[in-house]
Structure 1
Amino acid sequence: MANGGKAPQKIKYRSGFAAIVGRPNVGKSTLLNALIGRKVAIMSNRPQTTRNRIHGVLTTDEAQLIFIDTPGLHKPHHKLGELMVTAAENALKEVDVVLVVCDATENRPDLDRPVIDRLRDVQTPVYLVINKVDAVPKPELLKFIDTYRTLYPFQEIVPVSARKGTQLEALKQLILEQMPEGPKYYPDDMVTDHPEQFIIAEVIREKVLHLTREEVPHSVMVEIEQLERRDPGGILYVGAVIYTERNSQKGILIGKRGAMLKQVGQLARQELEALLGSKIYMELWVKVKKDWRNEPGWLRRFGFEERD
C-alpha cells in the first residue's frame, strides 16, 4: 500500500456554536444569512431588527456549524431592550467561537468599545469581523485594522463583505478550526431551528420595517394566530396580527383604504412562498396594545423570556 500498509485516517467530524455579536445595524443578520447561504434572519437598515437569538445551521461533509445571531448590544430603554441585551450576553457563555462584527464604513471605536469591553471575561476565541469592506478604500481599511487591533487581543481580524461574499469561505475555515470534535445536532437539510410560525412572523415584520421606514418605530410585533393547510399539499393559510403601541401607528400600518397593509401582505407572501415552497393565502390585521414592550405578560406571549 502506498501509505506503508496503514489504513487511511478517518477525518473526525466537528460541530459547535458561534455567536455573532456587535452593536445594532452593523450587518450581523446579513452575515448570518450569507454564511448559511439562505435567509434565516430578517434584515433592515433600522437598528435592533433582531429581537430573538436566531440559530442558523451550516452542515458540510466535515462539520456542522451553528451560528447564533444575537440582538445588537445597546443601552436598553424598555423591558424588551433589557431582554434583548441579556439574550446577547448569555450567548457569549454558550459558544465555542465569538464573532464581533463592526462596520468598515464607520471606524468608530468609541461606539464599538462598549461591545468589546463585554468580552473581557470570555474564555473562547474571539474574531473581529470587519463587514462592508467593499465600500472603503484599502488605506482606510488598514487604518481601521490598526485602530481596532489595540482594543482587544483578537484571535484574528477578518475583513469581509457579507453582501458580496468576500472572504466568507476564509472566515468559515477559521471558525471550523476552532470547533471541537462532535456530532450533528441537526438534520442535514435544516438551516434554522426556529419553527415555520416564527419565520413567517419575522418576514411579515421585516416588510413592515421596510415599508414604513421612520413612520413606525420598533414598537411592532407580529403574532401568528392561524397557520394551517386546508388540504394535503395545498395552500398554506396564514392569519396574523400586527401589534403596535399607538392608534396613529395603526393608521399608518393600514394605510389609505388598506393600501399599506395590502402591500405588506403581498411582499411577505411572495417571499414566504419562495422560502417555504408553498402557495400561501394570508390575512393580516392591525391591533393596538399600548406599551407592550414593558409588560412582562405580553413579552412572554411574544416569546421573550427572562433567563438567569
Structure 2
Amino acid sequence: MDTFALVATIAVALFFTYTNGFHDSANAIATSVSTRALTPRAALAMAAVMNLAGAFLGSGVAKTVSEGLIETPEGSQGMGILFAALVGAITWNLVTWYFGLPSSSSHALFGGMVGAALAGGTQVHWDGVLEKVVIPMFVSPVVGLLAGYLVMTAIMWIFRRANPHKAKRGFRIAQTVSAAGMALGHGLQDAQKTMGIVVMALVIADVEDYGDPIPVWVKIVCAVMLSLGTYAGGWRIMRTLGRKIIELDPPQGFAAETTGASIMFISAFLFKAPISTTHVITSAIMGVGATKRINAVRWGVAKNIVLGWFITMPAAAVVAACAFWVVRLVFL
C-alpha cells in the first residue's frame, strides 16, 4: 500500500476531526454562553479540555464506525473510498458552518462513507446503517425533545417556591457542570468516529488487523485535533443554538445540557450507537423552550434546522461519490 495514500487519508481524517470540533463546539457551550453562565473563551477552553478527556472514555462507537456501516474496502481503491468519504463530510461541514446551520458532522461522515462506498462498488451494510444511523437519527431528537420538556417541567415544579434571582444564580453555577458534561459526551461520541476511520485506513494498509485495540497514538491525535477545533470555536452556529431557537435562561440551559449529556452517554456506553450531538442538544433546547409556551420556540428556525438534518446524509453522499470519481480518474 502506498504510504503517501495512507498518510494523506489520515491527514484528511484529522482535518475532518478539526472541522467537527469548531463546527460542533457550539453544541456543548452555546446555552452556557447565551445565559452568560460562562464567557465565550472560558466556555471554549473548558469544552476543549473536556472534549480531550471524553475521547479516551471508550471505543464502542469507533468499532461501530469501522466495522458496522460499510465493508472495509481493499487496496488503493479502498483508500480512495475513505479519502472521498472524508472530503464529502468536510465539504458539508464547511457549507453548513458558513450558513450557521447546526447540522450533524456525524451524519455528514456516515453519508460520505455510504456515497463513496456505492461509487466505489463496495458493499454497504444497510442493516447496520439502518440500526446504528437512521433509527437513532429519528429517535434521538424525539427523545431529546420529550426529555428536555420533562426535565424542565420537573425543575420548574421543584423550584416553584424558590426566589427566582437566587435560583438563576445557582443554575448559572450548575451550568458549568452541565456544559462540561455535554463537552465530555461530545468528545466521547465524535472523537471515536474519526478513530474508526483511521483504524479502517490502517487495516487497508495492513498496518493493523481487524479486532486489534485502537492504537494509543490514534486516540491521542484524534482527541487533540477535536480539542483544537473546539477551541477555534464555531460562533455562527453558537448564535443559532443559543439565541435564534429560543432565548434561554440558566435553568433552561441547565435542563437542555443535562438532557443532551445524559442521552449521549447512554447511547455510547449502552448501545454503542454513534448518535448526533447536534440533533440531541437542538431538540432538547426545543423541548425545554416549549415549557414556556409552544410559540416561545421559533419554529421557523427549528424547521430550517430539521430540514438541514434530513439533507445532510444524501448531500454528503453525493459530494463523496463525486470526489471518489475524481480520485479514481486522477490517481487510480
- Normalising by structure 2, what TM-score? 0.24
Q: Kindly indicate which of the two structures has a greater share of residues assigned to strand.
A: 1
In terms of Rg, which structure is larger?
1
| Structure richer in helix, relative to its length | 2
Normalization by structure 1: what TM-score? 0.25
